[in-house]
Amino acid sequence: MMKIVKTNILNPISPEKSEFLKDIFISIEKSRIVSISKEIKKIEFEDYSGCICIPGLIDTHVHLSQFNVMGKHSTNLLPWLNDQIFAEEFKSEDENYAGGVAEKFFKASINAGTTTSVIYTAPFKKACDIAFETAKEYGVRAIIGKTMMDCNSPDFLLEDTETSFAESVELFEKWNKSTPLLEYIFSPRFAPVCSSKLMQRVGEFARKNNAFIQTHLSENTDEINLVKGLFSECKSYTEVYQKHDLLGDKTILGHAIHLSDSEIKMIKETN
Ligand SMILES: [Zn+2]
């Protein structure tokens, strides 16, 4: 059955240009927009004249399993992970808890107008599986990955290198392009908690299989110093990822705040 909505449309055409269309009728059939027009013959329509219709928003970096501690802070990135985040992510080892968080996350995303998200889940295969199942049920576009961390991590989150990699491949094979809206993204958390071996294996696999990768880069100066100490053979934080073949046109780097010119150049050249 055809549904008609009267509203105003804000249509972004390019980074410099957008158009505003006032009092427009949008005709929707089987969940798809079939036409937009200034006039309609039908008299029955839902009136949203006081609203503005925009394309769905896209969130390129979000941690689903941290939903329940949103806004909790600490002095700095590394203490914040230890004080607030790791313990919360551990709760998603429980499937019921992981299911509850996923429901809340996608409901809140849709209510905020976000229809596409690039997501990290807690480092548990089942929690990632549940996130995909929930995204599918809600009909959103989602690129989801299980966080990987195989060193320098609390015992309750620490993964064995082989298991971390094998489970991610399993999830990739099960979910990547399983529907037109779902894709998998390999998600080594960040260099301080990932071994060279793990990063290398992810890089090789992703390159071979044209898979997405996401990780964090240069969010905070203490984190940068930590990386310098752990990977003293590399001249910069970005070089750590380059050496492990993690940079490319399907890599999403979170934060990337304190970068040198040579690091920016390196990212540009690999993207
Ligand atoms: Zn993040």
**DSSP characters over the chain:** --EEEEEEEEEE-SSS-EEEEEEEEEEEETTEEEEEES--S----EEEEEEEE-PPEEEEEEEGGGGGGTT---SSHHHHIIIIIHHHHHHTTSHHHHHHHHHHHHHHHHHTTEEEEEEEE-S-HHHHHHHHHHHHHHT-EEEEEEEE--SSS-TTT---HHHHHHHHHHHHHHHTTSSTTEEEEEEE--GGGS-HHHHHHHHHHHHHHT-EEEEEE---HHHHHHHHHHTTTSSSHHHHHHHTT--STTEEEEE--S--HHHHHHHHHH-
29 CA from centroid of ligand 1 (Å)? 38
Provide the pLDDT for residue 73.
83
Q: How far is the CA of 246 from the centre of ligand 1 (A)?
A: 17
Among residues of the chain, what percentage have pLDDT more than 90?
A: 92
Q: If you measure from the C-alpha of residue 63 to the centroid of ligand 1, how many angstroms do you get, rounded to a whole number?
A: 6
**pLDDT in the model for residue 20:** 97
pLDDT at 74 over 90: no
CA of residue 217 to ligand 1 center, whole Å: 9
Work out the average pLDDT over 43-58: 94
- pLDDT reading at 83 higher than 90: no
**What is the Å distance from ligand 1's center to 27 Cα?**
38
The CA 254 to ligand 1 mean position distance, Å, reads: 6
**What would the mean pLDDT of 41-69 be, rounded to a whole number?**
94
Cα of 61 to ligand 1 centre, how many Å? 6
How many Å lie between the centroid of ligand 1 and the Cα of residue 37?
A: 41
Q: What domains lie within the chain, and their CATH numbers?
A: 3-53 (2.30.40.10), 57-270 (3.20.20.140)
Average pLDDT, the chain: 96
For ligand 1, the distance from its centroid to the CA atom of residue 76, given in whole angstroms, is: 14
- pLDDT for residue 85: 94
Distance 248 CA to ligand 1 centre (A): 19
Please give the distance, rounded to the nearest whole angstrom, from the Cα atom of residue 189 to the centre of ligand 1: 8
What's the 66 CA to ligand 1 centre distance in angstroms? 10
pLDDT tens readout for residues 138-195: 999 999 999 999 999 999 999 999 999 999 999 999 999 999 999 999 999 999 999 9
Banded pLDDT at 66 (limits 50, 70, 90):
very high
185-243 per-position pLDDT tens digit: 999 999 999 999 999 999 999 999 999 999 999 999 999 999 999 999 999 999 999 99
Question: 215 C-alpha to center of ligand 1: Å?
Answer: 8
- Report how far ligand 1's centroid is from the alpha carbon of 120 (Å): 8
Mean pLDDT over 20-27 rounds to: 96
